[in-house]
Amino acid sequence: MNSSPLIHVSVHDEVATALGEGRAVVALETTIVVHGLPAPQNLEVAAQCEAVIREAGAVPATIGVIDGVIRVGVDPSTLADLADPSRHSDKLSARDLGFAIAAKSSGATTVAGTIAAAHYAGIAVMATGGLGGVHRGASATYDESADLTALSRIPVLVVASGVKSILDIGATLERLDSLGVPVAGYRTSKFPGFYLADSGFPLDWRVDSPAFAAAAFAAHRHWSSSGFLVANPVGEDHQLDATVHAHALAAALAYAHESGAVGKEVTPAILAEFARFTGGASVRVNRELVIANAALAGQIAVELTHLT
Ligand code: PSU
Ligand code: MN
């Protein structure tokens, strides 16, 4: 699809055909697979996300960078290779993509990196687990995920279960407000708390159907080039026990501080400590919510094709 001698984006045939025919496509990120979830659940979750997107009538496009090419739609063996710990695959935000291409290196894309590539390829919907956001103590460290600023300028609808509970949720919601990113709860008026269904923070808007979410996003796109966040809570029967969550959160934050993790290492370090502390329960919750978000994203993407 490129006229330039530098072939830097390759769209999988099935994805290209679907886009050409105006059919629904949902982008999936790879950071959650490579740096977020432990093996072997990571590849199982990736496959299930693709399966539920197909069940909804859409085509999945898992995005990552392989040997300097942004691949929009990677097959399972390529994904397994990217996730192989011995490959030490990078974690790529939007600003990193140019370097990875120039260096012909490989890496997993975050939400920011994924929506940049998805939009470039013509995909308007993506699913993830939890969006990155404002870290606790950010007023001193300035640690705020580039997911937020990417969402403010890239018109992709993201389905996520809020932001990870390790973050400063109130500050993250304020930043999304300042950045002009619409936030809607899916069948709830409360912002989800990732491992918990309810973070306690109220939302101005709720959407009760995929069709309504698609209609609101389609209208928004007429006057704004920002993305759109649909916050889908994990089912109450799947959420983490509130007491376990509170203890795990305290342990994970202390661990992150002591480990000296900085920059892009912080989120993976905290997620890993959460998993260790909860004996894997947090991984089960993460798995449930990501798959549910992929299914909802598929339904919204299908509705969007009826409007555009
Ligand atoms: N959702 C999950 N697990 C994850 C992520 C999302 O359930 O690991 C990843 C996404 O790729 C998101 C990233 O963009 O965490 C945020 O990283 P940071 O805080 O370094 O921006
Ligand atoms: Mn950060």
Retrieve residue 36's tokens: 């977020």
Where does residue 284 rank: exposed (0-12), middle (13-18), buried (19+ CB within 10 A)? middle
Of the listed ligands, the closest to the CA of 289 is: 1
How far is the centre of ligand 1, averaged over its atoms, from the C-alpha of 62 (Å)?
15
Close Cβ partners of 261 (under 8 Å, ≥ 6 residues apart): 269, 270
Q: Which residue lies with its CA nearest to atom 2 of ligand 1?
A: 129
pLDDT confidence bin for 220, thresholds 50/70/90: very high
The number of the ligand 1 atom at minimal distance from the alpha carbon of 130 is 1
Query: How much is the pLDDT for 52?
Result: 98
Query: How much is the pLDDT for 103?
Result: 96
Q: Residue 20 above 50 pLDDT?
A: yes
Question: Mean pLDDT across the stretch 274-298?
Answer: 96
Mean pLDDT check: name the lowest of 82-91, 176-185, 257-266. Answer: 257-266
Q: Is 267 in the pocket of ligand 1 (CB under 6 A)?
A: yes
Question: Mean pLDDT across the stretch 36-60?
Answer: 97
* Active site annotation includes 29: yes
pLDDT confidence bin for 170, thresholds 50/70/90: very high
Q: Residue 266 above 90 pLDDT?
A: no
Give the active site residue among 50, 164, 288, 303. 164
Q: Is 130 in the pocket of ligand 1 (CB under 6 A)?
A: yes
How far is the centre of ligand 2, averaged over its atoms, from the C-alpha of 267 (Å)?
7
Query: What integer best gives the mean pLDDT of the chain?
Result: 95
Per-residue CA distances from 261 to 150, 253, 254, 274 (Å): 23, 11, 11, 15
Query: How much is the pLDDT for 3?
Result: 47
Q: Is the dihedral of CA 53, 228, 196, 142 positive or negative?
A: positive
Question: Mean pLDDT across the stretch 42-66?
Answer: 98
How far is the centre of ligand 2, averaged over its atoms, from the C-alpha of 132 (Å)?
8
Question: CA 223 to CA 245: how far, in whole Å?
Answer: 40
pLDDT confidence bin for 171, thresholds 50/70/90: very high
Query: How much is the pLDDT for 293?
Result: 98
Q: Which domains, from first to last, does the chain contain?
A: 2-305 (3.40.1790.10)
Q: Is 132 in the pocket of ligand 1 (CB under 6 A)?
A: yes
Query: How much is the pLDDT for 6?
Result: 56
Query: How much is the pLDDT for 166?
Result: 86
Give the active site residue among 29, 144, 273, 303. 29
Where does residue 219 rank: exposed (0-12), middle (13-18), buried (19+ CB within 10 A)? exposed
Q: Is 278 in the pocket of ligand 1 (CB under 6 A)?
A: no
Q: Which of 32, 89, 264, 284 to mutate to test ligand 1, by most ligand atoms within 8 A of the CB atom?
A: 32
* Active site annotation includes 273: no
pLDDT confidence bin for 241, thresholds 50/70/90: very high
Of the listed ligands, the closest to the CA of 138 is: 2
Q: Is 64 in the pocket of ligand 1 (CB under 6 A)?
A: no
Query: How much is the pLDDT for 192?
Result: 97
Query: How much is the pLDDT for 2?
Result: 45
Q: Residue 5 above 70 pLDDT?
A: no
Degrees, nearest 5: CA angle 91-45-277: 75
